[in-house]
Structure 1
Amino acid sequence: MDGLCLSEIGGCEDGRIGRGQLEDGGDDTQYKSKNLEAERRRRLKLSQRLLTLRSLVPKITNMNLATILDDAATYIMELQNNVTALSDQLLETEALCEDGPKALVDEIDAAQDMEANGIKPDVQVTSIDENKLWIKIIIPKRRNRFTKLLQTLSICGLELTDTSVTTFKGTMLISSCIRGPPGEMLKASQTKDLLQEIFKGI
């Protein structure tokens, strides 16, 4: 009877289980265990990222994966429409301001005015969290400069929020939060270098 049982389990004609079969069984169990652990880690990461996405999107109608992604896509499209609308309003406002002769003089003499008032161009970037920075920028006022900044940042995948823009005697002061793409870490030093390069071109 013992021989029969062993034969059925091990598949050996003489009823003995070979050493190689035992080792193979152990490897298979270990392989399955690694796969299960990898799958658990993958599901945990996915769950964490979905929670992060849920926290960024104000309106989530359901907690299943398809709904979260659909609501996030809708929210992103709304933001893009808002950016377009605000950019159009800004262009109209700047166009109205540029019609006045004083605005044109301020633009030409912006750097001289800043220097005369003891104001120096400056870019400050402070980290708030991994995906959000606080920026403070002092630059000479130029035609459409802020609009070009928004457009360039959008191309780079960056977004300004809680923005304040003040102009005085040829100087433009921009205070804002800058947010990167979800899941991407923003570094203050790299963002500062990027902003300085952008201002050279606009």
Structure 2
Amino acid sequence: MILRIPMLNRAQPLARSHSNAQDHILAERKRREKLTQRFVALSALIPGLKKMDKASVLGDAIKHIKYLQESVKEYEEQKKERTMESMVLVKKSQLVLDENHQLSSSSSEGNRDCSSSNLPEMEVKVSGKDVLIKILCEKQKSNLIKIMAEIERLGLSITNSSVLPFGPTFDISIIAQKTSDFDMKVEDVVKSLSCCLS
């Protein structure tokens, strides 16, 4: 009796290992392509990049991130220091129109102290170098001239202004910046503007 031993098919494991190797090569190629794409994207975010090799890109990226962290830290410190001062001066308005539809005040027209007049109503806010001034005053062109002149006299440079008529009054909003001549507290600004309109 002759025993027959089946022959092992060696081609099958070889084909399988060849297929695994091909898959591995493709996976590695994709990984490298992704890595290259990420480096290109990273290099586009780094200002002033001179060398495009991976070591240079990573080195410059680290420097740039450190710079950004320092900038954020400085900004946070400035933000803490930059406190906003504000003062509001509100007086009860007693303005009336007479029979000729002219604006008149119910208070006497004698010698008036600047603190006793019924208008203006105003709000002054200071944040760093920026100053916001809001004024509600009698609708007279001379008041606008007085306000603008006083603001410049105080050492403020007007960057934007808006004047809206509101009934018998002007609603004025002014944005200004401190110049080197400006050295006043917010209360003094309010007092000066209030007095110039009295």
- What interval of TM-score do these two structures reach, taking the shorter chain for normalisation? 0.3 to 0.5
Structure exhibiting the larger radius of gyration computed from Cα positions? 2
| Structure 1 length-normalised TM | 0.38
Structure 1 or 2: more strand by fraction:
2
| Structure 2 length-normalised TM | 0.39
Structure 1 or 2: more helix by fraction:
1
